[in-house]
Structure 1
Amino acid sequence: MISVTLETLQDVIERALRRAGLTPEDATVCARVHAESTRDGVSSHGLDRIPRLVDYLARGWVDPQGAFESVQALGALEVYDGHLGLGVPHAMRATERAIALARQHGMGLVAVRNTTHWMRGGTYGWQAVEQGMAAIMWTNTESCMPAWGASEQSIGNNPLVMAVPGGRAPLVLDMAMSQFSYGRLGVLKERGEQLPVAGGFDDSGQLTCDPQAIQVTRRILPTGYWKGSGLAILLDAMAALLSQGRATHEIDTVERGSGTGSSQVFMVFDPDQLGGIDACRAMVDDMTAHLSKAAPDESGRAVRWPGASTFHRRHDSADIVVNPDIWSQVQRLAGDRPRS
């Protein structure tokens, strides 16, 4: 592994995306999100995704000109069509519009249909809390996980994001409905590490902690077994209903790579109209203080709360550790000669 600065990481990604056909504005936005995701410890949806995104652009699976078009406005609820455009800028626009609606109505909901992969969902939760807003957001995906009781992929892992602003630090949950995402499996496989708990099934139908075995069968385990499966199904149905877009089984027919054709929901709430932002922040600070005082388990590690690791990473000035093979690949995409 090698280390690079955030500025260098963003610059190389931006130039790679501009060469792939993005406008300067979109390349800058996407590069910042991918670089920050890598810094925050989610390289699977940051730097590591750039070669795949460039490939999707070259194939025409993601349209860099795809507009974010208004379809319907119902007071605090609005629907947009993404026209298979860039998922990251679309999601950022949807979040900003939901924030504007929340400031007007107390809450705002923006649903987006026919869009593409939003990369790290937590990006948009942080976008909301940094403006003093609370949020619930989710996306559906193509079939990539077996429903509970099935041996083949039939539901999406349908990531869910929830965020509430705090004074010292916010609460930000970003989780897929699978115990581990495919991106996480890939990272641990490259490191030669096992999963801390079972994350899927091997070719004998047995639960395993071996990421490579799960990658082979593609039978990832729903979080909470039947509960995660049920939640994934309902998140899918609600996303398709609210956006009037595709459900998972319909996304499967698009056949343009991961996340293309998906439906997404961005719900934002204004704490100022719900008891006041100061009360909200005090409540979150009290919660995190309470959690931090709890006696640690046998591992001896500090008790964690959602968003804690990202918050601490964002206040760490250390360089960012990246996979050298992927870094060299992205450097080439940017037109550079890779160097260690």
Structure 2
Amino acid sequence: MSIKIDFDMLMSTIKKALINAGMDEDKADICARIHAESSADGVESHGANRVPRFVDYIQRGWVNPHGEPVLVKQRGFAQNYDGNLGPGISNAVFCADRAAELAKEHGIGMVTLKNATHWMRGGTYAWKMAEHGKIGMCWIATESCMPMWGSDEPSIGNNPFCVAVPREDGEIVLDMAMSQYAFGKLGVYRLAGKNLPYPGGFDEQGNLTYDPGSIEKTKRILPTGYWKGSSMALILDLLASALANGKTGADLDDEKRGSCTGCSQVFIAIDPYLFGEKEDIQNKWNTRVKRADSAHPIDPDSPVQSPGENTMKRRMESMKNGVKIDEQIWAQIQSIADGNLDVTDIS
């Protein structure tokens, strides 16, 4: 069952939990805000739900709570960093900001990160680059948790791909896993006792199913676009591991650690006005988005909306009426904040 928690209370409780887990105050503040904002935006799966799991990874030594990104090499507009297994959120925030700074100087900026850890909601960092006025792109290469098309066993990472467009009338943000539903979203539906609205994977009999628990059990999550999704996941792995000079998903499979531990990440920021005037580009975007949103809806009560347009509405609603969070997750976060680090992840 879900309950509503005041945003400031949620953030401060998560921050206290992270400090108890061994993080310094500055990093705990950055991470707590991103966790809370993700839940406020309606992405519980990679917001507050991930706090107990993240604390567990710190205790296992899979995340270094004091790790900082260290510059390894620079070539023109591109920089490569070693994340030293630091907190995924604080490292990714640094990389997104740095990519935007390089784009301001060069028109395009790319920052790659090896030895990274789970960045939680990937769209956060594309969005952050858009807030700097840049087109933002980011993706990741992580361990296998999804079958290649034609297989019945996980052999490729569910590598998210995120793009944000800095439209002044509201950013347009694509934040997509390479599966029909991310594993975190399956957990949200399971905790709520709900089936998926569309089939999301295969059960033990090899049949497509709406039941999130059955999919979590088989780990046969459905690639988005069937063969297209698994192919895209492989390409993103090859690109990220090369550009970061880091580990592939296969390397992480061999290490057998937790979610995204030691992964490779890419952040690219682009000045949208490289070859056009700002006013003209913004007008193009507004016209294009308006035309897309005005398409005839299947359900009159659910108008068509471009990706990301609902996010700030949900955040405003959460700030006004409280952030929706599963009561079991909230109890776990409170327990960690009270000093009990022996909490089992249920997300």
Fold equivalence (TM over 0.5): yes
- Shift in Å, 1:300: 4.2
**2:217 counterpart of 1:216:** yes
Instruction: Give the equivalent residue in structure 1 for 2:29.
Output: 28
Distance 1:254 1:261 in 2: 9
Report the AA paired with residue 92 of structure 1: V
Equivalent residue letter for 1:322: I
Counterpart of 2:102, as a letter, is L
Aligned mates of 1:300, 1:131 — CA distance in 2: 34
- Listed one character per residue, the Cα deviations across residues 103-135 of structure 1 (whole Å, up to 9, x for unaligned) are 111111111011100000011111111121101
- Of stretches 249-258 and 235-244 in structure 1, the one that deviates more from structure 2 is 249-258
Alpha-carbon RMSD: 1.4
The answer to whether the Cα contact below 8 Å between 1:165 and 1:284 also exists between their aligned partners in 2 is no
Deviation at 1:299, TM superposition (A): 6.6
In 1: Cα distance, 2:101 partner to 2:36 partner:
26
Task: Tell me if the contact between 1:167 and 1:282 (Cα under 8 Å) persists in the aligned partners.
Answer: no
Hey, what does 1:202 align to over in structure 2?
203
- C-alpha change, 1:45 and 1:253, in structure 2 (3 Å) is same
Determine the C-alpha separation between the residues in 1 that align with 2:245 and 2:231. 21
By how many angstroms is 1:273 displaced? 2.8
DSSP 3-state at the match of 1:308: coil
Measured in 1, the distance between the counterparts of 2:302 and 2:90 equals 37
Look up the equivalent residue of 1:145 and give its one-letter code.
Answer: M
Deviation at 1:82, TM superposition (A): 0.6
Change over 3 Å in CA distance of 1:299–1:252 after alignment to 2: farther
Q: Which residue identity does 2:194 align to in structure 1?
A: E
Provide the residue aligned with 1:46 in structure 2.
47
Equivalent-residue separation in structure 2 for 1:331 and 1:40 (angstroms): 21
Q: Does residue 1:192 correspond to 2:230, yes or no?
A: no
Q: Which moved more, 1:261-270 or 1:271-280?
A: 271-280
What corresponds to 2:10 in structure 1? 9
Matches of residues 135-174 of structure 1 in structure 2 within 5 Å? 135-174=136-175
SS in 2 for 1:70: strand
Does 2:328 correspond to 1:325? yes
For 1:92, the equivalent position in structure 2 comes to 93
How far off is 1:304 after superposition?
2.1
* Whole-angstrom CA distance in 1 between matches of 2:191 and 2:68: 37
Question: Do the aligned partners of 1:140 and 1:235 also contact (CA within 8 Å) in 2?
Answer: yes
Residue 309 of structure 1, CA deviation: 1.7
Deviations 1:249-290 (A, max 9, x none): 001122221010100000100123341333333222222211
| Superposition deviation, residue 240 in structure 1 | 0.5
Displacement, 1:67? 2.4
Bigger CA drift: 65-74 or 299-308? 299-308
Give yes or no for contact 1:167–1:284 (8 Å, CA) kept in 2. Answer: no
Distance in 2 separating the partners of 1:276 and 1:111: 29
Is residue 103 of structure 2 the alignment partner of residue 111 of structure 1? no
Distance in structure 2 (CA, Å) of the matches to 1:328 and 1:298: 37
* TM-score after normalising by structure 1: 0.96
1: distance between equivalents of 2:312 and 2:26? 27
Residue 59 of structure 2 corresponds to 58
1:336: Cα distance to partner?
7.8
Contact map agreement 2:85 2:262 (CA 8 A) in 1: yes
Contact 2:46-2:184 within 8 A present in 1 as well: yes
Q: Is the 8 A contact 1:166 1:283 kept in 2?
A: no
Q: Which amino acid aligns with 1:324?
A: E
The alignment covers a number of residue pairs equal to 337
Runs of 4 or more above 4 Å deviation: none
Residue 335 of structure 1: which of 325, 334, 338 is its match?
338
Deviation string, structure 1 residues 282-311 (Cα, Å, up to 9, x no partner):
222222211221110147411021101212
SS in 1 for 2:255: coil
Supply the distance in 1 between the matched residues of 2:315 and 2:273 (Cα, whole angstroms). 26
Residue 253 (structure 2) pairs with residue 252 (structure 1): yes
Question: Structure 2: how far apart are the matches of 1:96 and 1:153?
Answer: 34
Is the 2:20–2:339 Cα contact (8 Å) retained in structure 1?
no
What is the alpha-carbon distance in structure 1 between the residues aligned to residue 314 and residue 90 of structure 2?
Answer: 24
Identity %: 45
Cα distance in structure 2, aligned partners of 1:300 and 1:315: 21
SS at match of 1:220: coil
- Structure 1: state its 5+ residue gaps: none
Quote the Cα distance in structure 1 between the aligned partners of 2:278 and 2:107.
Answer: 12
Deviations 1:10-56 (CA, angstroms, capped at 9, x unpaired): 00000000111101100000000000001001111111101011111
Q: CA shift at 1:234, angstroms?
A: 0.3
C-alpha contact 1:82 1:113 (8 A) present in aligned 2: yes
Contact 1:166 1:282 (C-alpha < 8 Å) held by counterparts: no
Q: Is the 8 A contact 1:137 1:161 kept in 2?
A: yes
